[in-house]
Chains A and B, each alone.
Chain A
């Protein structure tokens, strides 16, 4: 059973079909790329999968530990609690908060105490807060951001902000990550470093990753399978090599041959 199964998914905005009848599946542990020309509906698809939009038609099914849940009926925060998280095309960190707090917010659901516990400073409150602090710092060490823990997110260099966004998504406890153009705006060196980073966290933390990317060097080097969208429709899928030589993909990117 696939980890993520998308069945006949459609999202219409008025008369425009941004995603139309898309069916894909992602296996556990895969690293999949989602590509397509501008306006092909890639980000809309991410938005539907993470609950920002409710689909017009179709289903999004997540299977873990043998149980299947329907994500398309859940509000975003519940989807996140199911172990699905994402990053954004334009960075959306909690800019005014510290790096550590950004990660702690993602870990919030692990804090097991109520508002009364916090008010009366119960033992559970202290234990829970201390545990989260330790966990958040250990986590930052893993993604090499521990030295920057107390820096405000907005003061990080661009590449580090991208990295923190991925780290924050992972900190929710996600097993399935959607990365929306993680290398956008990066120079080749930064892109290279990011490619290594993604490959590394994926094996270290057993993640399944779906990423949207325009940087083909990144897509071709780490994605095992690629989906191609055009005008909201899935026009091709397969390995990098297969997709590269697919005439429909070439047509979508370069236009039809006269």
Chain B
């Protein structure tokens, strides 16, 4: 039992990371129906920006986090403007392939600029381990979990209670009607990219703290898993991405803990296949009936 709870703690930490990345996938999909495959790389960029802000600029964690989120958020907006907006009216496949191209571009750009090597993320948080009825957890895990939860609450408030949230929801339902009701659709989409990218950046800096190393290709696997998480929860649905992220994190940790680390990735992709076969609209999605 104790070991199970211990695995839960580990699973929730990694699950927070997946959930933060999955949110960006799901928000962008919700608003322009694009699977932004470059999103995992925004998380990688976030880790690098985070590292630079704590090493070069000597910022403490509480300042490095918002700074990283802002910088990466702006980058997200720029990418949308250059790569996706010109394709807004073309086929979805065109935009999807562009997203894959952007992903390669970002990976190689970072390799070129920073060098294709592994960096050590400096220890920003004092690493202390706490014991609680035999359960072990450290400051990093607490920081990850608390930060992720706070950001998710903030996101829910923005989406549900503010005018930009309303604009985002209206654009997601009917872009043309939103335009004619006075909503600035381009700005709303930019803002969605900004929020999604900044959440991925937060995940990047947190994972840097957790695993201590970062590299230009680190975004690929977590990006893919976060995508699975978004589909699992129901793509386009914000609470779905949160639940999906935690679920994938927990499942992966349990498989490593009780089975074998070798199979943890395979299990995640099997989940994707099962979801697509059994309930393609995801956990929280409604099955839409085709109208004849």
Contact = CB atoms under 8 A, between A and B. Distances in A.
B180 A108 contact: no
B191 A104 contact: no
Given A108-B163, A115-B191, A119-B154, A88 B177 contact: yes
Given A92-B174, A92-B176, A92-B177, A109 B166 contact: no
Interface string A72-93: 0001110011000110100011
Contacts of B184: 77
B63 interface: no
Contacts of A119: 154, 158
A136 to B, nearest CB: 11
A109 B170 CA distance: 14
Q: Which residue, A75, A76, A88, A168, has most C-beta atoms of chain B within 10 A?
A: A76
Nearest to B161: A129
B178 to A, nearest CB: 7
Contact of B183 (A86, A95, A105): A105
B173 A85 contact: no
B180 A50 contact: yes
Contacts of A50: 180
B162 A85 contact: no
A105 B167 contact: yes
Nearest to B187: A77
A52 B185 CA distance: 13
Nearest to A97: B169
Contacts of B86: none
B179 interface: yes
Interface in A104-126: 104-106, 108-109, 111, 113, 115, 118-119, 125
Contacts of B178: 94, 105
Q: Which residue, B164, B166, B178, B185, has most C-beta atoms of chain A within 10 A?
A: B166
A172 interface: yes
Contacts of A95: 173-174
A172 B182 CA distance: 7
Contact of A76 (B158, B167, B180): B180
Interface residues of B, number: 23
A4 to B, nearest CB: 16
B179 A94 contact: no
B181 interface: yes
A80 B185 CA distance: 13
B50 to A, nearest CB: 20
Contact of B162 (A76, A106, A129): A129
A50 B183 CA distance: 13
Given A77-B179, A115-B191, A108 B167 contact: yes
A81 B173 contact: no
A119 B150 CA distance: 12
A77 B163 contact: no
B158 A80 contact: no
A52 B191 contact: no
Given A85-B180, A118-B158, A77 B185 contact: yes
Q: Which residue, B166, B170, B181, has most C-beta atoms of chain A within 10 A?
A: B181
Contacts of A169: 181
Given A108-B166, A118-B164, A129-B162, A97 B173 contact: yes
Q: Which residue, A52, A85, A92, A94, has most C-beta atoms of chain B within 10 A?
A: A94
Contact of B166 (A80, A85, A96, A101): A101
Q: Which residue, B158, B162, B167, has most C-beta atoms of chain A within 10 A?
A: B162
Contacts of A105: 166-167, 169-170, 178, 181, 183
Nearest to B66: A119
A118 B173 CA distance: 23
A24 B177 CA distance: 25
A101 B162 CA distance: 11
Given A80-B181, A172-B181, A94 B170 contact: yes
Contacts of B174: 92, 94-95
A208 to B, nearest CB: 17
Interface in A158-186: 168-169, 172
B175 to A, nearest CB: 10
Nearest to B195: A115
Given A50-B180, A95-B174, 11 more contacts: A80-B180, A96-B173, A101-B169, A104-B166, A105-B167, A106-B181, A118-B164, A119-B154, A125-B162, A132-B163, A168-B181
11 contacts: A51-B180, A77-B179, A93-B177, A97-B169, A105-B169, A113-B163, A115-B191, A118-B158, A118-B163, A119-B154, A129-B161
Interface of A: 50-52, 75-77, 80-81, 85-86, 88, 92-97, 101, 104-106, 108-109, 111, 113, 115, 118-119, 125, 129, 132, 168-169, 172
